[in-house]
Amino acid sequence: MNENCLRPVRNSGCRVAVWLLSFLIFFGLAEGQVLVNCLVAMVDEMPVSLYDLKIIDLFGLEPELTLIDRPLKKEDLVNIYTNELLVVNLAREQINLSQEEIDQEIEEIKGSLGSQNFEDRCQILGLGVEELIPYIENKLLFEKIVNSRFSQRVHISLQELENYYNDVYVPEVKARGQQVPEMVNVLNEIENRLQAIKARDQLARWMTDLKEKARIIINYDCLDKVEIKGQEEK
C-alpha cells in the first residue's frame, strides 16, 4: 500500500488506513454490469462511499457544483458532500422535513432529468426511489440550515454597488452586445447579486471552521475511482 494514498485533512494517524482500504465491495447490477464500491472518506465517523458520490453526481443532488466556474474535479464533489454532512449532522434532530417536501424534490429531480433519464440512472446504480430518499433528505436539510443561518440581509455600501456595476455588470452587458442600463435602474439586481456573494462567502468561512474542527480522512486510492459524469450528461 502506498503510504501516501491516505492523507488526512487533519493529523489523525494511520490506524484506520487498513480498514479504509479493506472496504471494497462489488455490487451486481443489470446483466453484465458490476459497480465497484469503496470508502472514499470518513467524516467524523460518517462514511462517504464511492456509491454515495455516484448517486449525488448522477441525480444532481449537489447544486453547488454548478457554481464552480472551472472544469469540475473529483475533489469538488467530495468537498461539497463533506460540507453537507458536517452541516446536517449539526442540526438533523432540530429540523423536520415533511413527506410532501421530499415528494416534491423527487418530482423536481425527475423534471430536471426527464422521467426516462431518471429511470435509466436508477437502473445504472441498481436502486429504487426509496433508496434515494436519505440523500434527498440530506440535501433539503442542508438547504434549510444554510438558509436559516444566512438569510438575513447584510449591509451593502454604495461604493460596493458602484464597484460591482462598473467592474462586473457593465462588462457583462457589453459582452452580450446589449445597451448598458443606468446604475439606478439595476440597483436591486446588483444588490441581490452582492447579497448572494456575501452569503456564499459567509458559508465558506463557516465551512472552513467546521472542517478545521472535524476529523476527516480521505482514501485517495478510492478517490481516484470517482468519475463526474452527471453534470455532463444533463
pLDDT of residue 35: 54
pLDDT of residue 217: 94
Q: What secondary structure does DSSP assign to the chain, as a single string?
A: --TTSEEESS---STTHHHHHH-EEEEE-STT-EEEEEEEEEETTEEEEHHHHHHHHHTT--GGGGG--S---HHHHHHHHHHHHHHHHHHGGG----HHHHHHHHHHHHHHH-HHHHHHHHHHHT--HHHHHHHHHHHHHHHHHHHHHH-S-----HHHHHHHIIIIIHHHHHHTT-PPPPGGGSHHHHHHHHHHHHHHHHHHHHHHHHHHHS-EEEEHHHHTT----HHHH-
CATH fold label, 6-151+214-233: Triger factor/SurA peptide-binding fold (1.10.4030)
pLDDT of residue 36: 65
pLDDT of residue 206: 92
pLDDT of residue 173: 95
d(CA 55, CA 137): 13
pLDDT mean for each 10 residues of the chain (234 residues)? 38 38 43 67 93 91 74 86 92 87 95 93 91 94 88 88 96 94 95 91 91 93 80 48
The residue extents of the domains of the chain are 6-151+214-233
